[in-house]
Structure 1
């Protein structure tokens, strides 16, 4: 019975040590350098109504791709309208985060990216012209 208790205690202590060390090794070192975000729609404006477009942002910090952003979203609304649509981005490679979207009507749209990474937030409003 004593051997079982010692083994159980040893397993619990090892588990606690691994859990503590495992969490700390996954964190990125904090940098005072702001994140840089580059927005790229594909195809570039003007976009055709009813055709898919890929809205992408590329996120960097200290000239290196940020692959661990905690939240990336695209907010879309038609000019002169108050209601907007918020879309969660998909993580790509090399710091890319994207969403595929179809603009149903022609007009001018605003697309604002919201990027949260490494305790920083960046957002910017861009206009996209959609034609018939």
Structure 2
């Protein structure tokens, strides 16, 4: 009798464990956040321009985003970009204003971090007369001389570094996207060098901490101006890079 009871209890426990495991396997994966970026295709010089981003997750409006910022730069001058923090309207929409001081072609990219996800769609804005023929030729000459233009649909956002100090661990973080979706399973390396010691370059492999987010840690041993070049590759033949400059203080 006791033997039969023991067998019954053992079988019951196995069935219960199997049921629990089944529930874990069927756990739903959170839906990705989506962002609708609303900016005009054309704008007048020195006129007020409204920028709006509507953030959703499935059918739900996301009103609790951790960070929403609009990054703006002129064609060929991303290193001189300007960032504007968006106002949260409390209904899933986030807004900001800007103005453009001269003719040209500009890019507006919104960076949204919400619910442990990051996305960064972008659009172009033609201001005034846009790019003249001579200016457009100059842009192509820059690319021919080695200035890198990203693959269509690819986007890279390097988290700004502030108050970097010698011998203090610094976290390097970059978000990558392809066709407005996180670029996963890429090989990302940070190349770092001091402007005063061009012969010495350090290479650091980054780990993918979340979908499309790649992080690494580094200690700077000397004060000075440094360059950080981010190299991105994947199995589909993508090969991208982008350079940033930071100051390290004592």
Answer yes or no: same fold by TM over 0.5: yes
Paired positions, count: 101
Is 1:130 aligned to 2:127, yes or no?
yes
Distance apart, 1:45 and its partner CA:
1.8
* Corresponding position of 1:34: 32
Query: For the residues of structure 2 that align with 1:94 and 1:38, how far apart are their CA atoms?
Result: 14
Query: For the residues of structure 2 that align with 1:131 and 1:93, how far apart are their CA atoms?
Result: 33
Q: Sort the Cα spacing of 1:117 and 1:31 in 2 relative to 1 into closer, same or farther, 3 A.
A: farther
Query: For the residues of structure 2 that align with 1:55 and 1:31, how far apart are their CA atoms?
Result: 31
Query: For the residues of structure 2 that align with 1:35 and 1:68, how far apart are their CA atoms?
Result: 12
Distance apart, 1:92 and its partner CA:
1.4
* Corresponding position of 1:103: 100
Q: CA RMSD in A?
A: 1.6
Query: For the residues of structure 2 that align with 1:118 and 1:93, how far apart are their CA atoms?
Result: 16
**SS, match of residue 37 in structure 1:** strand
Query: For the residues of structure 2 that align with 1:111 and 1:63, how far apart are their CA atoms?
Result: 26
Select the residue among 51, 56, 63 that pairs with 1:55.
51
TM-score norm. by structure 1 comes to: 0.72
Q: Sort the Cα spacing of 1:31 and 1:70 in 2 relative to 1 into closer, same or farther, 3 A.
A: farther
Q: Sort the Cα spacing of 1:31 and 1:73 in 2 relative to 1 into closer, same or farther, 3 A.
A: farther
Query: For the residues of structure 1 that align with 2:29 and 2:89, how far apart are their CA atoms?
Result: 23
- After TM superposition, the runs of 4+ consecutive aligned structure 1 residues lying more than 3 A away are none
Structure 2 segments unaligned to the other structure (5+ residues) = 1-27, 130-250
1:20-74 Cα deviation digits (max 9, x unpaired): xxxxxxxxxx961000100002xx2211111101111000012111000000001
TM-score norm. by structure 2 comes to: 0.39
